[in-house]
Amino acid sequence: MRKKIKIRFYGATGEVGRSCFVFEKEKTIGVEAGIKLGKNIEFPTIEEKPEILLISHSHLDHVGFIPHLKHNYNIIATKPTRELMPVILSDYARISGFEFNANDIIKRTKIKEFGEKFRVNGFGIELFNAGHILGSAMIKVEDVLYTADFNARGSRILESAKPVKCSTLIIESTYGGREDIIPPLKEELAKLCNIIEETVKRGGIVLIPSFAIGRAQEILIALEAFMRSKRIPKVPIYIDGMIKKAMRIYRMNVIYAKKDLQNQILMSLHDPFLSDFFKVSRHIDRKDVKKPSIIVTTSGMLTGGPVYKYLKLFGEDENSTLVFVGYQAEGTPGRDILEGKRVIRIDEEEKEIKMRIERIKISGHSDRNDLIRFINTIKPSKVILVHGEKDKMKELEEDLISKYDVIAPKLGEEIEV
């Protein structure tokens, strides 16, 4: 008989954040080492010290705990993840004020490709494209598939995640709630085009705060294509913050992107990543940024970063538009503005926001229907829900329970499969 696997859940249980699990057979392997971002930073409750860590992708809720590990460990990840980790972790270290050696992380990380079967500590493992950000992986350990963050619908840059046969499915439930239906990408991008057109006509700025890795590249590659085909007016597109670095890593690893994007870069003269439309401000206060233009900058939830410099310059301009393109967590200034607040604290000063506020629903995650379809295609004997707010998980669980053995583990719980 097959030996059972024990899985311990040290985070991402009834919450979005601090993904961290340990699989045990004769030996153990760690899967993910994330932190939870919000008003305070929360760490996973792990005390054991797995010598091998499998990492799905380079977002802080999956890798942020790595710099806090004090034992000797090695990481297994895809090449884009290996290259994006130092970018996001250096930024985290800078903001939090601790020392971080980016080379150390590179040295510890062994690259595995999608579809390459390998064995570690007695486990048979394979990585599959998750379609969430460049190089993001679903991780299959023996007969257990862990989706991590995955997008089953594909994007401008990435191929969609495909269902993988397994007996136990550990699945994210970020958008598992009944209301969590995300409109088709095309529709939302069309909305964005309209907003840009109208704002440029008024002579304003389109300010798009964005997460640095994933969302920003999707938006930029889409805007570049729209501008080239003259679907939106030709104005400078300013790129700021960590987005620039991530953009370079995306370009260097374009082999992990969709075929048509690869072909554009490898076979034709046009390289959207190096487009003339993209500009970088040379001024410390961004005063060289002229209207009308588009600005894509960090941070995505207005929790800091260069977006504040632009709010200072254009926040009171009624002809400009602030466009949210990502999730706004509770307690963040982004969420406050979305809910109607019109003042923001910049450099200890209250500043009124008179820009128009818009929101586009674009996601790197599967929505509720995608999740259910994914599960119904695989038909696993056990479904384990992680990475979702409690009530959303509950709503997803209620719809699955008649067909599947569904578990929403508690923090620290061990499940045998």
What is the token pair recorded at 156?
């401008």
Q: Which pair of structure tokens corresponds to residue 289?
A: 């940024």
Tokens coding 78: 């895809």
Q: How far is the CB of 59 from Zn ion (least distance, A)?
A: 4
As measured in angstroms, the least distance from the Cβ of 193 to Zn ion is 26
If binding means CB under 5 A, how many residues of this protein chain bind Zn ion?
A: 2
| Residue of 125, 117, 127 whose CA lies nearest to 161 | 127
- Decide whether 215 or 279 has the Cβ nearer to Zn ion: 215
Shortest Cβ distance from residue 249 to Zn ion (Å)? 16
Smallest gap from residue 214 Cβ to Zn ion (A)? 7
The 382-386 sheet, strands edge to edge = 118-120, 123-129, 137-141, 144-146, 168-172, 382-386, 405-407
Show the beta-strand stretches assigned E in 58-108. 74-77
- CA gyration radius, the chain: 21
The distance of closest approach from Cβ of residue 132 to Zn ion in the complex, given in angstroms and rounded to an integer, is 6
Give the nearest distance from C-beta 184 to Zn ion in angstroms.
21
Closest to Zn ion by CB, 62 vs 309, is 62
| Residue 125 host element (H or E) | strand 123-129
> What's the rounded Cα separation, in Å, for the pair 146 and 130?
10
Q: How many other C-beta atoms are found inside a 10 Å radius of the C-beta of residue 174?
A: 23
CB of 64 to Zn ion, least distance (A): 11
Instruction: Compare residues 7 and 12 and give the one whose CB is closer to Zn ion.
Output: 12
Tell me whether residue 133 or residue 400 sits nearer to Zn ion (CB atom): 133
Draw the binding track, 119-158, toward Zn ion (x: CB under 5 A; -: no contact).
------------------------------x---------
Cα 360 to the chain's mean position, in Å?
16
Of residues 49-108, those binding Zn ion (CB under 5 A): 59
CA atoms within 13 A on the CB side of 235: 24
Q: Write out the two tokens for 245.
A: 């670095």
Tokens standing for residue 16: 């979005």
Nearer to Zn ion, 24 or 172 (CB): 172
Rounded to the nearest whole angstrom, what is the least distance from the CB of residue 85 to Zn ion in the complex?
Answer: 13
- C-beta of 356 vs 368, nearer to Zn ion: 368
Distances (CA, A) of 17 to 84, 211, 358: 18, 15, 26
Q: What is the 3-state secondary structure (H, E, C) of 238-277?
A: EECCCHHHHHHHHHHCHHHCCHHHHHHHHHCCCCHHHCCC
Which CB sits closer to Zn ion, 59 or 79?
59
Q: Least distance (Å) from Zn ion to the CB of residue 173?
A: 13
| Nearest to Zn ion of 85, 294 (CB atom) | 85
Q: In 10 A of CB 250, how many CB atoms?
A: 27
DSSP state of 164: -
Interior angle at CA 44, CA 28 and CA 370, nearest 5: 85
**In whole angstroms, what is the distance from residue 84 CA to residue 91 CA?**
11
> Which CB, 91 or 224, lies closer to Zn ion?
91
Q: What residue is closest to Zn ion based on CB?
A: 59
Q: How far apart are CA 253 and CA 237, in angstroms?
A: 23
Q: How far is the CB of 244 from Zn ion (least distance, A)?
A: 20
Residue closer to Zn ion (CB basis): 61 or 126: 61
| Least Å from the CB of residue 364 to Zn ion | 7
Measured CA to CA, the distance from residue 202 to residue 398 in angstroms comes to: 48
Tokens of 108: 């510890």
d(Cα 252, Cα 84) in Å, to the nearest integer?
Answer: 11
Nearer to Zn ion, 61 or 317 (CB): 61
18 binds Zn ion (CB under 5 A): no
Q: Which residues bind Zn ion (CB under 5 A)?
A: 59, 149
